[in-house]
C-alpha cells in the first residue's frame, strides 16, 4: 500500500526506527504491558506509553495530533469488550476508532498508522505480539510524511 | 408554487392567531436575484413577506439555537433535508420537540446560484423568474431561459427525502419527485480503488485553497456547540495557519464530528467562499455509518445518534490481534 516516495532511502532504512505512541488503558493494557515487563518478555523498544484511564478517554484529537507531531504510528489499547472497568468505555471507543480510521484511510493515510487492540492485564505475551506486529507494519510503511507539520 | 406559498402562509396565519406559536421562521425575498433571506414573523401583518420558491436554500434550524429564541414556541419552515437536520438536533436533545412546530414543505429542488451565474457570465443577473421547470434569467439587454433540472444543487441530484420525514403540518399533497441522478456509491467505490497516495493528493489539492474561515462549520445546521474545537485555545488543537497539515486536521475532525449526523444537505459546500466541494467526504461518512451500524441520520427523533450509542456486537475487524 505504499510507494517509493514513502519508503526511506536504502541507507536510511538500516538505521531508521519508527516511533510509535501507545495509549494504554490503566486497568488492562497498561497492566498487560507491565506484566510483559516483569515477565521479561521481549518486544521492540519503539513504543512510548501514555497511560490513560480508559480507551474511551482517548479523544480522536490525540491520534491526529500525534501524526501531526511526527509520530510514525499510534497504538490504542484497552480492555476486551465486556471487561471495561467503566462498563462500556471501550465500546464507545470502538465506534470512534472505527470512524476515525475509516475517515483517515479514505483520505489516504495508510491503514497501518492507526492501530487498535484489546489486551487484558493477564496478556503480557499478547501485548508483546501486538507491539511486534504494529512495529512491523509501521516499519514497512516508512516514516510518516503526510499530515506532519513542518 | 403559488399555491404552496399560499398554503404555507395560511398555516402560519392560523398558528399565530391561535397563539400556538410565538414566532415563525421562514424565508423572504432576498436583496439579490436567486437569493432568499431568513424571515422572522411574529405578527399577522408580516405574513405576506413569507415566500416559498426554488431559492430557499438556507437551513433555518440554526436560528432555533439563538439565545433570543429560547423559551419561545417556534414554527419553522423546513424542506426534506432541513427536517432531517432538525431531527438529528431533536434526537440529540438540543431542541425541544414540543416547543417546535414543524411546517414541512415539499422541496422544489434548490437552484444552484453559482451554476446559473456561470451560465450567463460575465453578464450580471438582474431578475430571475422560475416558472415550473424553467428559469428565466434577465439582465441588461439579455434574457435567457434555462432548464431548471440542469441548474439544481448537486446535493439535490442525489436527494431521497425531498419531503420532510417529520412534520406537524405538511403543505401540499403529493410529493414532488426529484431525479436521483448521482450514484454516490459508485463514485466512492471508484475513489477507494485509487492508491492512498492518489487519495491524499486529491484531498490535498481539494483543500489547499481552504482559508479556514469556518463558513462550513457556521452553515452546518448540526454544528451547534457553544465552543467549537477550532476556537479553543487551551489546549489549542488546531493550528491557526493555512499549512496543509492544519487544514487537513480541521477537515478530518470536522468530518469526525458530523459522522453519523450529517444528512448530506450540502450547506457546507454552499457556504464555502473558495468553492471547495466537501461532498465526497460527507457522502463517505453516510456510507460508513450505514455499512457499519445500519443507521441513517435524521429519520427517527427517538433513535440515539450513531456516535452516542454502542452495541456489544459492533464490527471490530480493524482490531490488531497480535498473531
Cβ within 8 Å of residue A73, ≥6 positions away:
A18, A19, A20, A21, A112, A113, A114, A115, A134, A137, A138, A141, A144
For chain B, the residue count is 323
* A117 to B322: CB separation less than 8 angstroms, yes or no: yes
* A68 to B293: CB separation less than 8 angstroms, yes or no: no
DSSP character string of B170-206: E-SSSPPP------HHHHHHHHHTS-HHHHHHHHHHH
- Nearest alpha-carbon partner for B100 in B66, B139, B70: B70
Sheet holding A114-118, edge to edge: A47-52, A20-25, A73-78, A114-118
* A117 to B320: CB separation less than 8 angstroms, yes or no: yes
Q: Which residues of A touch B256 (CB under 8 A)?
A: 60, 99-100, 103
Cα–Cα distance measured from residue B84 to residue B227, given in angstroms and rounded to the nearest whole number = 23
The reported pLDDT for the residue numbered B173 is 59
Is the pLDDT at A5 greater than 60? The verdict is: no
Long-range contacts of B274-277 (CB under 8 A, 24+ apart): B274/B209, B274/B210, B274/B211, B275/B114, B275/B209, B276/B206, B276/B207, B276/B209, B276/B210, B276/B216, B277/B154, B277/B206
Instruction: State ipTM.
Output: 0.89
Q: Is A69 at the interface with chain B, CB within 8 A?
A: no
- Interstrand relation of B23-29 and B74-78 (parallel, antiparallel or unpaired): parallel
Q: What is the mean pLDDT of residues A39-57?
A: 96
Cα–Cα distance measured from residue B82 to residue B44, given in angstroms and rounded to the nearest whole number = 25
Q: What is the mean pLDDT of residues B141-145?
A: 90
Q: Which residues span the domain enclosing B273?
A: 183-323
Is the pLDDT at A1 greater than 70? The verdict is: no
Average pLDDT over chain A reads 91
Average pLDDT over chain B reads 90
The reported pLDDT for the residue numbered A4 is 46
Residue of A nearest to B197 (CA): A108
Long-range contacts of A92-96 (CB under 8 A, 24+ apart): A92/A56, A92/B310, A93/A54, A93/A55, A93/A56, A93/A58, A94/B310, A94/B314, A94/B316, A95/B293, A95/B306, A95/B307, A95/B309, A95/B310, A95/B314, A96/A58, A96/A60, A96/B307
Q: Which three cell numbers stand for residue B313?
A: 456486537
The reported pLDDT for the residue numbered B178 is 62
pLDDT tens for B257-315 read 999 999 888 899 999 999 999 889 999 999 999 999 999 999 999 998 999 999 999 99
Window 17-56 of A: residues touching B by CB (8 A cutoff) are none
- Nearest alpha-carbon partner for A75 in A106, A43, A107: A43
In this structure, of A84-88, B62-66, B114-118, B181-185, the range with the lowest mean pLDDT score is: B181-185
Domain total of chain B: 1
Instruction: Collapse the DSSP code of A109 into the 3-class scheme (helix H, G, I; strand E, B; otherwise coil) and give the result.
Output: coil
The reported pLDDT for the residue numbered B106 is 86
* A97 to B292: CB separation less than 8 angstroms, yes or no: no
Q: What is the pTM of this model?
A: 0.91
Q: Is A57 at the interface with chain B, CB within 8 A?
A: no
Please give the distance of CA B229 from its chain centroid, rounded to a whole number: 21
Q: Which residues of B touch A3 (CB under 8 A)?
A: 195, 197
* A98 to B314: CB separation less than 8 angstroms, yes or no: yes
The reported pLDDT for the residue numbered B322 is 82
Q: What is the share, in percent, of chain B residues with pLDDT greater than 70? A: 97
Residue of A nearest to B200 (CA): A108
In a domain, B212, yes or no: yes
Residue of A nearest to B241 (CA): A149
In a domain, B126, yes or no: no
- Nearest alpha-carbon partner for B97 in B110, B108, B88, B107: B88
Is the pLDDT at A33 greater than 60? The verdict is: yes
Q: Using 50, 70 and 90 to split pLDDT, how confident is the model at B41?
A: very high
Q: Which residues of A touch B198 (CB under 8 A)?
A: 108
**How many beta-carbon pairs under 8 angstroms link A with B?**
128
Q: Which three cell numbers stand for residue B176?
A: 414532488
Window 85-124 of A: residues touching B by CB (8 A cutoff) are 88, 91-92, 94-110, 115-119
Cα–Cα distance measured from residue B85 to residue B136, given in angstroms and rounded to the nearest whole number = 31
Q: Answer with the residue of higher pLDDT: B122 or A102.
A: A102
Q: What is the share, in percent, of chain B residues with pLDDT greater than 90? A: 64
* B245 to A148: CB separation less than 8 angstroms, yes or no: yes
The reported pLDDT for the residue numbered B17 is 94
Query: Shortest CB distance from A106 goes to which of B192, B248, B320?
Result: B192
Residue of A nearest to B243 (CA): A149
In a domain, B102, yes or no: no
Q: At the fourth CATH level, which superfamily is domain A18-123?
A: Lumazine/riboflavin synthase (3.40.50.960)
Cβ within 8 Å of residue A9, ≥6 positions away:
none
Residue of B nearest to A127 (CA): B322
DSSP character string of B31-100: SSTT-EEEEEE-SGGGGGGEE-STT----GGGGGGSGGGTTS-EEEEE-HHHHHHHHHHHHTTSS-GGGE
Cα–Cα distance measured from residue B188 to residue B233, given in angstroms and rounded to the nearest whole number = 36
In a domain, B83, yes or no: no
In a domain, B288, yes or no: yes
Instruction: Measure A14 CA to nearest chain B CA, in Å.
Output: 24
Query: Shortest CB distance from B203 goes to which of A75, A107, A149?
Result: A107
Is the pLDDT at B80 greater than 80? The verdict is: yes
In a domain, B149, yes or no: no
Is the pLDDT at B42 greater than 60? The verdict is: yes
Q: Which three cell numbers stand for residue A115?
A: 492501530
Cα–Cα distance measured from residue B21 to residue B168, given in angstroms and rounded to the nearest whole number = 12
The reported pLDDT for the residue numbered A12 is 63
Mutate to test the interface with B, among A98, A116, A134 (most CBs of B within 10 A): A98
Long-range contacts of A144-147 (CB under 8 A, 24+ apart): A144/A67, A144/A70, A144/A71, A144/A72, A144/A73, A144/A113, A145/A5, A145/A6, A146/A67, A146/A108, A146/A109, A146/B200, A147/A64, A147/A67, A147/A68, A147/A109, A147/B245, A147/B248, A147/B249
Instruction: Measure A147 CA to nearest chain B CA, in Å.
Output: 5
- Interstrand relation of A20-25 and A73-78 (parallel, antiparallel or unpaired): parallel
Query: Shortest CB distance from A102 goes to which of B201, B288, B314?
Result: B288
* B253 to A110: CB separation less than 8 angstroms, yes or no: no
Cβ within 8 Å of residue B224, ≥6 positions away:
B62, B65, B89, B94
Is the pLDDT at B110 greater than 60? The verdict is: yes
Amino acid at each position: 500500500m505504499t510507494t517509493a516516495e514513502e519508503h526511506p532511502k536504502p541507507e536510511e532504512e538500516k538505521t531508521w526506527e519508527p516511533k510509535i505512541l501507545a495509549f494504554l488503558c490503566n486497568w488492562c493494557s497498561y497492566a498487560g504491558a507491565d506484566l510483559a515487563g516483569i515477565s521479561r518478555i521481549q518486544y521492540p523498544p519503539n513504543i512510548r506509553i501514555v497511560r490513560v484511564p480508559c480507551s474511551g478517554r482517548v479523544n480522536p484529537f490525540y491520534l491526529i495530533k500525534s501524526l501531526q507531531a511526527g509520530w510514525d504510528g499510534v497504538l490504542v489499547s484497552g480492555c476486551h469488550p465486556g471487561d471495561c472497568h467503566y462498563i462500556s468505555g471501550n465500546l464507545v471507543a470502538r465506534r470512534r476508532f472505527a470512524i476515525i480510521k475509516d475517515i483517515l484511510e479514505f483520505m489516504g493515510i495508510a491503514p497501518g498508522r492507526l492501530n487498535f487492540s484489546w489486551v487484558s492485564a493477564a496478556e503480557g505475551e499478547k501485548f508483546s505480539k501486538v507491539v511486534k506486529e504494529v512495529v512491523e507494519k509501521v516499519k514497512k510503511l516508512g516514516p510518516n510524511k503526510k499530515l506532519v507539520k513542518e | 408554487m403559488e399555491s404552496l406559498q399560499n398554503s404555507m402562509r395560511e398555516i402560519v396565519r392560523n398558528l399565530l392567531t391561535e397563539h400556538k406559536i410565538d414566532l415563525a421562521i421562514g424565508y423572504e425575498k432576498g436583496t439579490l436575484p436567486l437569493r432568499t433571506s431568513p424571515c422572522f414573523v411574529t405578527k399577522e401583518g408580516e405574513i405576506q413577506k413569507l415566500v416559498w420558491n426554488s431559492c430557499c436554500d438556507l437551513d433555518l434550524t440554526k436560528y432555533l439555537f439563538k439565545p433570543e429564541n429560547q423559551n419561545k414556541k417556534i414554527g419553522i419552515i423546513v424542506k426534506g433535508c432541513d427536517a432531517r437536520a432538525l431531527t438529528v438536533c431533536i434526537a440529540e436533545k438540543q431542541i425541544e420537540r414540543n416547543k417546535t412546530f414543524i411546517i414541512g414543505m415539499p422541496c422544489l429542488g434548490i437552484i444552484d446560484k453559482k451554476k446559473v451565474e456561470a451560465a450567463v457570465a460575465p453578464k450580471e443577473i438582474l431578475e430571475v423568474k422560475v416558472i415550473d421547470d424553467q428559469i428565466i434569467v434577465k439582465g441588461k439587454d439579455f434574457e435567457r431561459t434555462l432548464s431548471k433540472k440542469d441548474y439544481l444543487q448537486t446535493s439535490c441530484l442525489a436527494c431521497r427525502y425531498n419531503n420532510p420525514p417529520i412534520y406537524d403540518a405538511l403543505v401540499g399533497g403529493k410529493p414532488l419527485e426529484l431525479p436521483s441522478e448521482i450514484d454516490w456509491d459508485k463514485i466512492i467505490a471508484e475513489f477507494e480503488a485509487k492508491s492512498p497516495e492518489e487519495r491524499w493528493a486529491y484531498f490535498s489539492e481539494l483543500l489547499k485553497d481552504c482559508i479556514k474561515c469556518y463558513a462550513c462549520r457556521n452553515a452546518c445546521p448540526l454544528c451547534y456547540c457553544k465552543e467549537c474545537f477550532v476556537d479553543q485555545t487551551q489546549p489549542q488543537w488546531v493550528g491557526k495557519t493555512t499549512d496543509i497539515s492544519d487544514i487537513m486536521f480541521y477537515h478530518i475532525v470536522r468530518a469526525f464530528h458530523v459522522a453519523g449526523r450529517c444528512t448530506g444537505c450540502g450547506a457546507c459546500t454552499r457556504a464555502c467562499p473558495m468553492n471547495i466541494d466537501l461532498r465526497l467526504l460527507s457522502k463517505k461518512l453516510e456510507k460508513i455509518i450505514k455499512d457499519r451500524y445500519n443507521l441513517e441520520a435524521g429519520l427517527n427523533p427517538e433513535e440515539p445518534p450513531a456516535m452516542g450509542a454502542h452495541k456489544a456486537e459492533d464490527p471490530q475487524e480493524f482490531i490488531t490481534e497480535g498473531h
